[in-house]
Amino acid sequence: MNNVEQTLSIIKPDAVERDLIEEIKSIFLKNNFSVKEFKKIHLNKEEAAEFYKVHQSKPFYDSLCSYLASGPIAVMILEGENVVSKYRELMGSTNPKDAKENTLRKMFGISIDKNSVHGSDSIENAKKEINFFFKN
Ligand code: UDP
Ligand code: MG
């Protein structure tokens, strides 16, 4: 296979709370993404703030960090051909209202903040984000 990449996926608190982990994982498998690592964790606010540091200047930073730390999340390493961009496509637009049919955010997202899933936006950020959760 050419272009095999890895990316970081997070199933956010709103989706974990609604018991959507298995359904979302099955969609990953249907899309030929393999789940290389999986863990369910609950970040504290400091850890969430570290993870979302790139957004520290944004007006929504504080509420974003509180939200990510508000409940358990499921964190996964996905692997597959061009998985960084393919998974971004499968997630859909940040705001579920703008997301296309059959994207995860259209199917499961509640609002721009409770948009159910996170995915790395580049190969470089995928490496950083994978390392944040799965240091070895
Ligand atoms: N977000 C928010 N309000 C905004 C923009 C973004 O609460 O006005 C949240 C949203 O949950 C998003 C996260 O901040 O998923 C990170 O924003 P980014 O622009 O990186 O969107 P993503 O890469 O997740 O699509
Ligand atoms: Mg982003």
CATH of the domain at 121: 3.30.70.141
Query: Does residue 103 sit within a domain?
Result: no
Query: Does residue 92 sit within a domain?
Result: no
Specify whether the CB–CB gap between 33 and 80 falls below 8 A. Answer: yes
Burial of 29: CB neighbours in 10 Å, binned 0-12, 13-18, 19+:
exposed
Query: Does residue 25 sit within a domain?
Result: yes
Q: What is the mean pLDDT of residues 36-42?
A: 98
Stated pTM of the model: 0.97
Query: Does residue 48 sit within a domain?
Result: yes
* Ion ligand 2 neighbours, Cβ < 5 Å: 121
Ligand 1 nearest atom to the CA of residue 64, by list position: 7
**How many domains does the chain contain in total?**
1
Supply the range of the domain harboring residue 16.
4-81+117-133
Closest CA to 88 of 4, 1, 7: 7
Query: Does residue 100 sit within a domain?
Result: no
Q: What is the pLDDT of residue 41?
A: 98
Query: Does residue 104 sit within a domain?
Result: no
- Which residue has tokens 């939200």? 67
Question: Out of 75, 118, 120, 133, which one is annotated catalytic?
Answer: 118
Mean predicted lDDT score pLDDT of the chain? 97
Query: Does residue 98 sit within a domain?
Result: no
**In a 3-state reduction of DSSP, which class is residue 98?**
helix
> Is-catalytic flag, 55?
no
The model's confidence at residue 2, banded by pLDDT at 50, 70 and 90, is confident
